[in-house]
Every structure is written in structure tokens, then in C-alpha cells.
Amino acid sequence: MKKRSSRFWLIAILFVGLAALAIPAARALAQSGPPVACPPNCMVSFDTPSVFEPASLEATQIDALFRFILTIAGVIFVVVEGLLFFAVFRFRNRPAEMAVQTHGNTKLEIAWTTAPAVILAVLMGFTLQTMGAVRAVASDNVLHVKAIGHRWFWEFQYPDLNIVTANELVVPVNTIIEVSVESVDVEHGFWAPELFGKVDAVPGYTNRVRFTPDTVRNDYYGGQCTQFCGDQHAQMRFAVSVRSAADFQTWAATFQQPSADAATLSGSAAAGRELFLTGTSQCMACHTVAGTTAAGVTGPNLTHLASRSFIAGGVLANTTDNLAAWVTNAPGIKSGTVMPRFADTFSPQQIADLVAYLQTLK
């Protein structure tokens, strides 16, 4: 009997140990292994964002709620499974006998009904408290941003600052960021795991999310579309850049300025500007460049394209070669994109001129 009891406790301890290691082991496995294949210089690798590394006040509150619920669920799991294993090993190999028939145990039935109800009520209370905290309306120290989903890129508008950009959301640290999330075509999902929870972008409807970043980051926080929206859903990415208040003011002042004046351009860049603003080129029909006659809204606003780190909805780094490849054959890089293949429209020299002009848009 003593040997049997020792064996049971050994198995129970092993089981609890495995259960305790399951979550960190799963996380380590998910963040290791070969990188996800994607075009060169992908903006966001899939092991970058992590809900376990909150970097905003709201994300920290969500993380605390998650860990609290996980702890409660873990304790319940260990207790229930422990009792199950105890019953299996304690009463195995008994002589065959007729089970005692009883009507029931009223006290026990009340207990196992009341206990889950109390636990769920407590969890609901903490959940509602957290939901109220992360969705509370703020009136002071607020920056309003509109995030608009397109197939397949994100457009960011700053109504109070008269700034429109794409792919990169730049925000100041320790400021409440109120984001209105919309879509112009199909349903998308807006999510930066380290900063805020998932929000649906629904055509014809505005959802809202807020976050208060508390850490300046040298690179970016990765974001991703979370609703399947077509062929390039997985390549619909964005970056959130959290900067100090002074750096954000400098960025805003720069992006509020129009593009370079035509008089300052020469050579290939001047030729590219002329081609870009020619109606037959199709460029100005889809893109806006402040300070010019280009006012299209189908594609990203290109006013300060050269100041961005990424193009093509966060797929390619903003380099000369990548920009030329994108203009030459965008569908070959991102199939299904609205931007046509210009290799059949422009000569290599014209494409080089366009790229030279686009690189002046700082």
C-alpha cells in the first residue's frame, strides 16, 4: 500500500510539473525555428509581436487580466486532474462488487454548482472592470488617429494635425492615442499585440480603440491584419513607432510640409515628377502628393514617401531597388494588388526617373 501511494504522488508531481511548463514551452517553441518565408526585408517577422510583452497602459491591464484568469484556470485544472488521477490510481484493481446505489448528495451538488458560479462571477467582475478601464473616454492629452484598411495596406490620418501617411503609425510616448478604425473595401482586423487588443475594421462602420504607450522604442512595434481579407491578408502589415514628445513634434512638423517644389528638382527627378503628374501615367489618379495636382485616394498618400521605412503594405524596405521593383511589377511582388504592372507601360529609364522623383518626397 505504501509503495502504491508513493508511486501515485510521483506521477502526480510529474503531471503538475509538465502542466506548469506547458505554456512557457509552447511560447518558446512558437518563437523559435526557421523564419517565415516572405519577400526580402520583410517589415514584421511573425516572432516580433508578443502579447506577453505589453508596452502600453491598456495592454498591461489586459495582460494582468489574462494572467489572473490563466492562474485561476490552472489551479482548477490541476485540482480536477489531480483528483481524477487520485481516484484512478487509488481505487484501481479492486475486487468486483456492486456499487452502492444512492439517491444523491444534496450538499455536494449545491457545492459543485455554487463554486463554478462564484468563480465565473469573480472573473466576469474583473473582466468588466478591465474593459471599462481600457475603453474609458479620455479628454486630456489625447491624439486622435484614423486607421483605414485597404486591400492591402493601412492608411493613417491625423485629423488634428492635417497629416496622412501609410504603413507606419507614429505616436508620442505617454499620450492617449484614440484610434478610429475603418475599412473602405472588406473587413480587416487591426492589431498590435504589445499595444492594444484586436479591433475589426468594418466597411461603413467605425470601431474605436485606445492605447497609451509607455516605452519609447528604437525600431517599431509590429502590427498585423487579423481578419482574412484576400490573397495578401498575411502581407497586410503595419508598424507603430513610439517616440519622445520632442521627436514626435519634429516628425509632425516635417510631415505637415508639402513635397519638394518643382523648382528644386533637376535631371531624372524632374523628369520623374513630370511623368508622375501626367494624366496618362495613372500615378496621379491613385495617389496624392501634397503641393501638386495629384489627389488620388485609391493608393497610399505619397507626400512623404521617402521618409518612410517600408513600402508595399509593410512587405518591402524602402530602398531604391525595392521601390524600382515595386513600380515595375507590383502584382509580381504582391499578387492581387490594385497597382498595375508598369513594366509594360514605362521604359526602364522612365521607371528610374519615377523612382528618383519618389525619393525626393521627404
| DSSP character string of 312-361 | TTTTEE--HHHHHHHHH-HHHHSTT-SS--GGGTS-HHHHHHHHHHHTT-
Domain boundary among 197, 221, 255: 255
Residue 100 domain-assigned (yes or no): no
Q: Strand locations in 159-313, DSSP E? A: 163-166, 168-172, 176-183, 188-191, 199-201, 207-211, 221-225, 237-243, 310-311
Residues 183 and 272 in one domain: no
Closest CA to 357 of 282, 295, 298, 289: 289
Helix or strand or coil: residue 23?
helix
Residues 43 and 181 in one domain: yes
Q: Which residues does 104 contact at the CB level (< 8 Å), separation at least 6?
A: none
Q: What's the pLDDT score for residue 41?
A: 45
> pLDDT (tens digit, 9 = 90+) per residue, 341-360?
888 888 889 889 999 999 98
Residues 82 and 112 in one domain: yes
Alpha carbon 355 to its chain's center: 30
Residue 52 domain-assigned (yes or no): yes
Q: What's the pLDDT score for residue 205?
A: 93
C-alpha cell at 339: 497597382
CB 285 within 8 A of CB 295: no
Residue 27 domain-assigned (yes or no): no
Q: What's the pLDDT score for residue 262?
A: 72
Q: Which domain holds residue 81?
A: 1-22+35-92+106-255
Low-confidence ranges of the chain (pLDDT < 70): 1-10, 12, 16-48, 93-102
Residues 269 and 197 in one domain: no
Residues 266 and 187 in one domain: no
Residues 251 and 305 in one domain: no
Residue 225 domain-assigned (yes or no): yes
CATH number for position 197: 2.60.40.420
Residue 97 domain-assigned (yes or no): no
Closest CA to 286 of 150, 84, 126, 99: 150
CB 300 within 8 A of CB 288: no
State the total domains in the chain.
2
CB 175 within 8 A of CB 247: no
Residue 327 has phi, psi (to 5 degrees) of: -65, -35
Closest CA to 112 of 80, 69, 89: 80
Residue 101 domain-assigned (yes or no): no
Residue 78 domain-assigned (yes or no): yes
pTM for the structure as a whole? 0.78
Strand partners for 155: 148, 166
Helix axes 348-358, 320-328, angle to 10 degrees: 130
Cα separation, 196 vs 9, whole angstroms: 43
Residue 267 corresponds to which amino acid? G
The stretches of 220-292 forming alpha helices (DSSP H) are 245-255, 267-276, 283-286
